[in-house]
Amino acid sequence: MYRWEITRAALEQRVFAIVRADSYEKATATADILLGAGLTSLEISLTTPYALDAISTLRRETGDDSVIGAGTVLDSASARLAVDAGARFLVSPSLDEEVIRTGHRYGVPVFPGITTPTEMVRALELGADGLKLFPASQYGPGWLRDVRAALPQAPVLPTGGVTVEAAPEWIAAGAVACGMGSALTEGEDRETVAKRVTDLLQRLEDAVPGESKGSHG
């Protein structure tokens, strides 16, 4: 798959899950619950012990049914290791040119972290495939709406403190997708998570600006 195809697949549901755990077992179990609930895209944070092994395992077990990425990618070395482990996309809390260059060298999309319009433009100039607004809890959908009036071309991914209630508001404000962690898996009961995910996906679809009018075909 080409980079743009992976990007589209990773963000297709307008939400990607963030799995950050204190063990390999917990990470793969959480990922299994989320994927079983109907999510197709998630990242394993590299702060998780044996995160690269978890990425490899999930890639092997899910094949092309899901898009597994790596999160908290801070430098080119981590980016290369994540790509080698099978990560289909790379997410970073910061804007690092080498992470973007490394991902793109191997055909993998990169979503670097941004917090200002200046960083957004810089990330676009560097070829970022999506812009992770982090931590989103310090901003709000109103902020994004204002910024996108000036930068409508910026594909923003609010992440960090995004709740199930607020996610549709972010999408309505023009976000491409939301990155969500514990808000999705709270309770960790499969049935509860499955219902939460199903409801959220519907609400996100309904929140897309102009979609109901068919303006996006």
Question: Which residues, 6+ apart, have CB-to-CB distance to 193 below 8 Å?
Answer: 33, 34, 37, 184, 185, 187
129 burial via Cβ count (<10 Å: 0-12, 13-18, 19+): buried
Give the active site residues: 43, 132
CA distance 170 to 167: 5
List the one residue out of 98, 105, 95, 91 whose CA is nearest residue 11.
Answer: 91
Q: Which residue has the tokens 């999930």?
A: 58
The torsion region of residue 53 among left (phi > 0), alpha (psi -120 to 50) and beta comes to alpha
